[in-house]
Amino acid sequence: MPLVAAVMALAMVACGSKSNNTNNDTNKEMYTLSFDELQATYMSEIACNAARGDQSKLGVAIRNGLRTGLTANQIKEALSQLYAYMGFPRSLNALGTLQKVLKEFDDNGEPYELGPEASPMPAGYDALKQGTEVQTKLSGQPFNYDFCPAEDYYLKAHLFGDIFARDVLTHADRELVTVSALSGLEGVMPQLQAHVRGALNMGVSEAQLAAIPEALKAAGLEAEALRCEAAIAAVKGQQRTVSPSAYPLGQPNDAYAKYFIGQSYLAVLDTVSGLCNVTFEPCCRNNWHIHHKAVQVLVCVSGRGWYQEWGKEPVELTPGTVVSVPAGTKHWHGAAADSWMQHLAYFTAQQPGFRNEWLEPVDDEQYNALVR
């Protein structure tokens, strides 16, 4: 995790300005997105795929963004800013992809808008002063990282000063970019939540914020969308954590919903072997059940959950945990109360007469006693 992003967990968030004027309270217009709805969709895809390092999908998103009116300099500015959150290597790789796409457009004679460069800084511009004001606005209060004064200076003078003073993107634009990018990274939930709060502090509407995970879902970035939704939910006071994996979420598990408490999702990965990925929302679990004449294998790939056999202590499921459920064994499995959980599931050693027998629910009293 880039160091700048690590420090963001302590208090900070980012947002926007179209002007170098530091009198933010009298320039409310600087907090609005400059993108229309479709442009914002593609900017979210661009930022998320840049953070993921997926150059192929990034190229597609850049092409679509240019065709909807995003300027080359807006995209360049976003990918440059993101070095502070995803590191120089991925920022440089993403900028290289932008260069290739622009050359492709030039070679094919396809028009696009270059857009303006950043305006010169005004006379007497003070990066530290500007950055301190922006950082305070973003976090909702003054912040000083006394543990590491050098890092505190870099954050104020460089990230929130020099970078955020550039008027190619508004502060609101920059926050959309940052939330979208952090949604593409694992292990940065505190920073993602901080940026969600900052976006709201700086005037990004709840509807615009909610549009980010919707854009990611539409682009096939389901795990990233779940991560973003979890951060938004946490900021609203719905304390949930999510650790989605690269495996597809699939569809709501409606066919088996009557055997589950809470929402689950099912993605069939292979119809021949029956390999599936099952996703459980926090507190979701299936009923007690038995697989007759087959062994079920569960492989936890994301988040945290529980498996329990009748009469035995529960087993915690974390990524890499493998459970073989003996044939004829009464059991249940599901997510922890504070975390999503995903596991792969398949059957082996199937015998003639194989069937599932669904039994009573694991009610709240049982569940809460087990996962205290």
Query: Residue 107 is part of a domain; what is its CATH number?
Result: 1.20.1290.10
pTM of the model: 0.70
Considering its fold, how many domains does the chain have in total?
2
pLDDT in tens, 71-87: 999 999 999 999 999 99
What is the rounded average pLDDT of the residues 113-129? 95
Yes or no: say if 361 and 260 are a contact pair by the CB < 8 Å rule. no
Supply the pLDDT for residue 238.
72
Cα separation of 65 and 112, whole Å? 10
pLDDT in tens, 166-196: 999 999 999 999 999 999 998 788 899 999 9
3-state secondary structure (DSSP) of residue 324 = strand
Place of tokens 């995790």: 1
Yes or no: say if 279 and 265 are a contact pair by the CB < 8 Å rule. yes
Joined together, the tokens standing for residue 364 give: 């709240």
**294 and 220 fall within a common domain:** no
Joined together, the tokens standing for residue 343 give: 């596991």
Binned at pLDDT 50, 70 and 90, residue 226 comes out as: confident
The type of residue at 126 is D
Strand ordering across the sheet containing 295-303: 251-252, 264-270, 275-280, 341-348, 295-303, 322-325
What is the rounded average pLDDT of the residues 319-338? 95
Supply the pLDDT for residue 204.
86
Q: Which residue segment(s) compose the domain that 363 sits in?
A: 251-370
Binned at pLDDT 50, 70 and 90, residue 222 comes out as: confident
Q: Is residue 28 part of a domain?
A: yes
pLDDT in tens, 248-276: 888 899 999 999 999 999 999 999 889 99
CB atoms within 10 A of CB 252: 12
**287 and 154 fall within a common domain:** no
Q: Is residue 116 part of a domain?
A: yes
